[in-house]
Copies of this chain bind each other. A is one copy, B any other.
Amino acid sequence: MATVRDISLAAAINIFSAFIFLILFAILRLQPINDRVYFPKWYFKGIRDSPTQSGGFVTKFVNCDFKSYLRFLSWMPEAIKMPELELIDHAGLDSAVYIRIYLLGLKIFVPFMVFALCILVPFNCGGRSLEDLKDVTFSDIDKLSISNVAPRSERFWAHLVMAYVFSFWTFYVLYKEYKVIAFMRLRFLASERRRPDQFTVLVRNVPPDTDETINEHLEHFFCVNHPDHYLTHQVVYNANYLSKLVEKKKKIQNWLDYYEIKYSKNSGKRPSTKTGFLGLCGKRVDALEYYTQKVVKLSEEEANERERVINDPKAIMPVAFVSFKTRWGAAVCAQTQQSSNPTLWLTEWAPEPCDVYWPNLAIPYVKLTIRRLIMAVALFFLTFFFMIPIAFVQSLASLEGIERVVPFLSPIMEIKVIKSFIQGFLPGIALKIFLILLPKILMTMSKIEGFVSLSTLERRSAAKYYLFILVNVFLGSIITGTAFEQLNSLIKQSASNIPITVGVAIPLKATFFITYIMVDGWSGVAAEILRVKPLIMYHLRNTFIVKTEQDRQQAMDPGSLEFASSEPRIQFYFLLGLVYSVVTPILLPFIVIFFGFAYVVFRHQIINVYHQQYESGAAFWPDVHRRILYAMIISQILLMGLMTSKKASDSTPLLLVLPILTVWFHVLCKTRFEPAFVKFPLQDAMVRDTLERATDPAFNLKAYLHEAYIHPVFKNDNIEQPAAMDEEESNPLVRTRRSSHNTASGPVKHGFEFGS
């Protein structure tokens, strides 16, 4: 059992390490050479185009203004200073709402902390039940927790009342926050400039027609059924293989660039490479020649494939982006059922052009149900049985395992250093690698499920990751053993015993979770701001392959906020806070510090670093809200279990009311606010349409939408358009608009993977 001293020591260590990170960050970020790593957003927005300081050769790389180092925390007030409206304008609504999750944590847990420390801790301290038990070891932390209250004590009324107070406070904060964010979203959508997705609907599962091509069939259907509103449409080509080729070519091109730079640096000596795996084995060849040949060959193949896709009618998928003359028309089409067969002519709002995940548009609609079923089963097994393959790998990675598989290595393995390395480090590393890969695995699973926008993919991955964390980190830490053993032992218990078993273990694990918050939370956030990996990668790329300004742009691309993996982690802190608020209130200050620190850091990051790939208009908020409610229900049920084990089961009926209220609150919020995140009201559409007709009556919408929803690999091609569109083909407006899309979307993020 950890004592208060242990915890203080751990806190000191973690605060110190966070402090070191911050100092390092303060030093590194002021170096002009790192400017593009720590402030890439300003470059992307075109506000900054070279490190601010100018001067001699040295000051170009190192900041010699030593006064600036003294103000090493100056970024904090800067990060907080920017008003929210400006922030939305600068970083987009998604980011602005994302950091509001941390703010929400503060709003919930600061009052919790004050109340709990002032009221519950004295109650718990006075309990003295632990001191009477002489033979049980207990820590000072436990004295401040509910464990210290004797069974059947009247003091439990305090906990009961606090559980109610906390629940109602959370309801209040959540309701207000949902309201504010729904309002922000509507204002954001209303204030936005014209965007192609406002006029466009994604139509899936267009039925085949024997007499007409898909192009004609689409046009006829919408001309008949939306006669006053239909404008134009864009069919989707199955260009998955083509875009693979393009990506492959890009990679090869990168290697070619690398060798060209190498050649120009030490001229005379032509670089060579090996043709085998990663350039490590195989025949040695002249690198420049080898890669030039490869690029030429791929270019040829790409051109052929491009030809094939455009001319082959089978490459046209039964999917299309249909655009309307007005937002009203699009809103109507997106929200209604078109055909009497509800699996044909499925309409939904088109995602933003940069948000489209093109490969999934080629999945036949009928396969989706089966894919989702399989993925649901896979998720279940991944969550509960993920330890089995890892245990297998671990057994292989043991001394005996390696000796059995590769016996000739055994002399080496007898060396003591290597032996202890294998024994101490290898088994852990398998788990670590799995956990690092997990978000990618979950994202792949979401992709297999066939969602067609990046934002949906991220939200679905986040849901999967949350389940995994809930089962394996939360329940897994409380009940020791692998998830599968837990499942087995839980299922064999009585239904009403499960909350008791878990509930009893909860106060005992408080110190563990406090340490977890400090290590994972505090230090994790401090590491986030330092951006070690992007820092190294940027400098590597900058040295070896950057030739033009555009290359540098690519090299410094910070990518988006990783919603899919970071949001579930925040949710875990919400869960901890809610579960422990009544049980071990001393955990709350740690949570509050986490939320506060993370809020400042991420506000800095979204202002200066991340460059969102798409803008969903905070469409993820219903998920965030729902998961906090899940956490509430879990905490309420576990408290009920704990109370029962404390023989305070009179409280059960009163506590039973709380989850029911929570579910009801969920339904209330769902009906009240969720439509704002899913649908688009006709009234607002009409207002914007009318306004636009008045201000810009001559605007050529058809030309504007002409190439908005074209697959990125075709962006510079002249794809043959349906006959009805031809008259607009040569409009100069298209080119201008298109090039601006080209920058925003496309494979910037996935473009370059060094050395893979």
Contact = CB atoms under 8 A, between A and B. Distances in A.
B679 A337 contact: yes
Given A343-B672, A686-B225, A338 B494 contact: no
Contact of A335 (B337, B369, B490, B660): B337
B496 A682 contact: no
Interface stretch (A314-322, A663-671, A700-708): A663-671
Given A369-B667, A373-B664, A491-B496, A336 B338 contact: no
Given A373-B664, A495-B493, A682-B225, A335 B336 contact: yes
A565 to B, nearest CB: 28
Interface in A330-348: 331-332, 335-340, 342-343, 345
Contacts of A332: 332, 336
B676 A340 contact: yes
Given A660-B377, A676-B342, A369 B671 contact: yes
A228 B336 CA distance: 18
Contacts of A279: none
Nearest to A221: B683
A25 interface: no
A492 B649 CA distance: 14
Contacts of A683: 221, 224-225, 338-340, 345
Contact of A492 (B337, B339, B369, B494): B494
A498 interface: yes
Interface in A461-500: 490-498
A328 B492 CA distance: 57
A122 interface: no
Contacts of A660: 377
Nearest to A190: B340
A709 interface: no
Nearest to A675: B342
A692 to B, nearest CB: 15
Of A225, A491, A673, most buried by chain B (CB within 10 Å of CB) is A225
A682 B492 contact: no
Measured as residues with beta carbon below 8 angstroms from the partner, the interface class of chain A is 35 or more
Determine chain A's interface SS by DSSP, over half rule.
helix
A568 B491 CA distance: 32
A186 B337 contact: no
Interface string A210-247: 00000000000100111010000000000000000000
A684 interface: yes
A39 interface: no
Interface string A644-679: 000000000000000010001001100111111001
Given A336-B332, A682-B337, A342 B671 contact: yes
A679 B335 CA distance: 11
Contact of A342 (B492, B494, B497, B672): B672
B671 A337 contact: no
A679 B675 CA distance: 17
A681 interface: yes
A340 B686 contact: no
Q: What is the total number of copies of this protein in its complex? A: 2
Contact of A495 (B340, B345, B498): B498
A686 to B, nearest CB: 5
Contacts of A668: 369
A358 interface: no
A607 to B, nearest CB: 29
A620 interface: no
A171 to B, nearest CB: 14
B492 A340 contact: no
B336 A679 contact: yes
A19 to B, nearest CB: 47
A443 B582 CA distance: 42
A680 interface: yes
A114 B335 CA distance: 48
B373 A671 contact: no
Contacts of A496: 491-492
A673 B342 contact: yes
Contact of A681 (B228, B338, B494, B680): B338
Contacts of A679: 336-337, 342
Nearest to A677: B342
Nearest to A660: B377
A169 to B, nearest CB: 20
Interface string A332-368: 1001111110110100000000000000000000000
Nearest to A496: B491
Contacts of A495: 490-491, 493-495, 498
A328 B683 CA distance: 18
A667 to B, nearest CB: 7
B336 A186 contact: no
A552 to B, nearest CB: 43
Of A337, A338, A373, most buried by chain B (CB within 10 Å of CB) is A337
Given A225-B686, A228-B228, A492-B496, A336 B336 contact: yes
A224 B684 CA distance: 11
A225 B682 CA distance: 7
A714 to B, nearest CB: 31
Contact of A671 (B336, B343, B675): B343
Given A492-B496, A495-B491, A686-B225, A681 B339 contact: yes
Contacts of A492: 494, 496
Contacts of A667: 369
Contacts of A228: 228
A672 B490 CA distance: 37
Interface in A84-142: none
Of A343, A495, A684, most buried by chain B (CB within 10 Å of CB) is A495
A673 B342 CA distance: 7
Nearest to A679: B337
Contact of A494 (B186, B224, B494, B682): B494
Nearest to A657: B377
Interface in A54-75: none
A-B pairs with the 7 shortest C-beta distances? A342-B675, A495-B495, A337-B679, A335-B336, A494-B494, A337-B681, A340-B681
Given A336-B681, A338-B683, A494-B497, 13 more contacts: A332-B332, A332-B336, A335-B336, A337-B679, A337-B682, A338-B682, A340-B683, A342-B672, A342-B673, A342-B675, A342-B679, A373-B664, A492-B496
21 contacts: A186-B340, A225-B686, A226-B682, A228-B228, A331-B336, A336-B682, A340-B681, A340-B683, A342-B672, A342-B673, A342-B676, A342-B679, A342-B681, A343-B672, A345-B683, A369-B671, A377-B660, A491-B494, A491-B495, A494-B497, A495-B498
Interface of A: 186, 221, 224-226, 228, 328, 331-332, 335-340, 342-343, 345, 369, 373, 377, 490-498, 660, 664, 667-668, 671-676, 679-684, 686
